Amino acid sequence: MPHPIPGIHHITAIAGDPQRNLDFYVHFLGLRLVKKTVNFDDPGTYHLYYGDSVGHPGSILTFFPWPGAYRGRPGTGEVSTVSFSVPEASLDYWVRRAGDAGVVLEGPTTRFDGERFVSFSDPDGMRIELVGDATSPEGWRPSAVPEAHTIRGFHGAVLSVSGYERTAKLLADSFGFNLAAQHENRFRFRASGSGGLGSRVDLLCQPDLSRAALGAGSVHHIAWRTEDDESQKQWRRHLASLDFDVTPVMDRQYFHSIYFREPGGVLFEIATDPPGFTFDESAGELGTGLKLPPWLEHRRTAIERVLPPLAMERVSSAKGEI
C-alpha cells in the first residue's frame, strides 16, 4: 500500500472571462496569481493558478478560462463547493468586504462541532465557503486583503454524489481518511494524522439530483497530494489493482499527475508535491510572465497572439463589478 493521502494538492475549475476571474480571485479574495500558463491540452486557453506565497500544495485553485463558455449545471458527480480556511475571527470582516463589493453572501452559519462559515458564488457561479479555522498558518503577503484576514489555503471540498458507500470506501480503505462527523446526508472525512490545509472532504449524498454538466462555474477535477514520483507509481499500481482506469503519468511541469474517476463520478488526480511553482520562476517573479512548457515554447508567438490580454491592476473597483 502507498502512504496515506495527506490532503488536497489543488482544485481545477472552469471559468468564463479570464480578466473577471483574475479580478475576483486576486483583488477580492486576495490570493496570489502564482502561475500564468496555458492549458497544455488546449494551448489557446490560459491556465491560471492562484494560491499562497509560492503555491504550496493545499492552497492552489486553478482555472481554465474559456470566454463565452456556457454555465455548468450543478448535480452529482462533481466537486460542488470549494472551502477555504480563514482565521476564526475574520468572518465578520468578510461579511463587510462582500457587502462593499456587491457579492451576495450567506451566513455566518454553523455546522458540525461549531464550525462557522460564510458562503457565496464566484462570478461564474462556483460555490465557495470561507471557514473559520483557528489553526490556519499565515497567508499570502502582500495581499489585497489585510494580513489578519487573508485566506490561508483550502479547508476542504464538498463532493456531491448520488450514492455514498463506494466513494467512502475509497477514501477510508485506500486514501486512509477517517469518518470524522456526520449530519443527515453529509459525511465529513479527514486525512489520518493531519489537521492541516486541505485535509477535509465532505461527501454530500444527493440521490435525487441529476448528473452535473461541466461548464463555467464547474470544478473540472480535484487533485490529491503524494510526496514524490515513486509514491505516485505506487498509487497507480494500487488503483489499477482495484480496477480503476488510471492514466499514465503526465508531466504538468510543476507536478506530475495521474487521473481516474472515483465511483461517484468525480474526476480525481493524484499529483506530486515537487517540483513546485519556482521550477521556472523565482518566488518573487511568480505569476508575472506567461510560462510555457518546453514542448510549446516554439509556438509562443502564435499562442500569445490568440490569448486575451490580462491586466494585473484592478480593472474596476466599482461596487458589484468584481
CATH number of the domain where residue 40 is located: 3.10.180.10
* Cβ neighbours of 284 (radius 10 Å): 8
Q: What does the DSSP 8-state code read for residue 268?
A: E
Q: What is the rounded CA–CA span in Å between residue 186 and residue 112?
A: 10
Over 25-60, what HEC string results? Answer: HHHHCCCEEEEEEEECCEEEEEEEEEECCCCCCCCE
Task: Give the model's pLDDT for residue 321.
Answer: 43
Cα–Cα distance list, 303 to 63, 82, 193, 250, 298 (Å): 18, 31, 44, 22, 10
User: pLDDT digit of tens for each residue in the chain (322 aa)?
Assistant: 888 999 999 999 999 999 999 999 999 999 999 999 999 999 999 999 999 999 999 999 999 999 999 999 999 999 999 999 999 999 999 999 999 999 999 999 999 878 999 999 999 999 999 999 877 677 777 889 999 999 999 999 999 999 999 999 999 999 999 999 999 999 999 998 766 889 999 999 999 999 999 999 999 999 999 999 999 999 999 999 999 999 999 999 999 999 999 999 999 999 999 999 999 999 999 999 999 999 999 999 999 999 999 998 764 433 334 4
Strands 8-15 vs 60-65: parallel, antiparallel or unpaired: parallel
Domain membership flag for residue 317: no
One-letter amino acid for residue 199 of the chain: S
Domain membership flag for residue 23: yes
Domain membership flag for residue 315: no
Task: Give the model's pLDDT for residue 313.
Answer: 76
Task: Give the model's pLDDT for residue 287.
Answer: 95
Domain membership flag for residue 140: yes
Q: Which domain holds residue 275?
A: 8-306
Domain membership flag for residue 313: no
Domain membership flag for residue 274: yes
Domain membership flag for residue 314: no
Domain membership flag for residue 160: yes
Rounded to a whole number of angstroms, the distance between the first and last alpha carbons of the chain is: 46
Task: Give the model's pLDDT for residue 314.
Answer: 61
Q: What is the rounded CA–CA span in Å between residue 50 and residue 10?
A: 10
Look at the chain and report how many structural domains it folds into.
1
What 3-state DSSP class applies to 74? coil
